[in-house]
Amino acid sequence: MEKKGEIKNSTKAFEKGLHSLGKGQYILTLYITGTTPRSIRAIENIRQICETYLKGRYELAVIDIYQQPALAKGQQIIAAPTLLKKLPLPLRRIIGDLSDTDRVLYGLDLKPKE
């Protein structure tokens, strides 16, 4: 029979494991509008950031809202390009061509605010 202290310790371990589950893996979706210069820059910028700061720890999907408007509507995307960070929580949206690397790193929680 488990004692109260053992149950509390196993609960803490479970909660800690649950919290860290999505911590290392980043799930990102970039919504773009066709092959415009801003869209192309956004793709290049996020790929460079991911390869530099998240190598091997990310999944990146690029969705053209002209080709798949229902996906953008479902996520309430109102501007493009928009980067959506699904994991790790909290969910974040970064709008623009992602050329301001510091701003993107802050939005992805990869760089602490000064």
> Whole domain around residue 98: which residue ranges?
22-107
Question: Is residue 4 included in any domain, yes or no?
Answer: no
- pTM of the predicted model as reported, rounded to 2 decimal places: 0.77
pLDDT digits (tens, 9 = 90+) for 41-78: 999 999 999 999 999 999 999 999 999 999 888 898 98
Residue 87 counted as domain residue? yes
Is residue 3 included in any domain, yes or no?
Answer: no
Q: For the domain that residue 50 is a member of, what is the CATH number?
A: 3.40.30.10
Instruction: Identify whether 71 is part of a domain.
Output: yes
The amino acid sitting at 13 is A
Q: Is there a domain that residue 51 lies in?
A: yes
Report if residue 14 sits inside a domain: no
Q: Which residues contact 32 (CB under 8 A, 6 or more apart)?
A: 39, 42, 43, 62, 63, 64, 65, 80, 81
Contact between 71 and 63 (Cβ < 8 Å): yes
Q: 12 lies in a domain?
A: no
Residue 114 lies in a domain: no
Looking at residues 85-92, what average pLDDT do you find? 95
> What would the pLDDT profile of 4-42 be if each residue is shown by its tens digit?
555 555 565 555 544 444 458 999 999 999 999 999 999
Between 7 and 79, residue with greater pLDDT: 79
Q: Could you give the number of structural domains in the chain?
A: 1
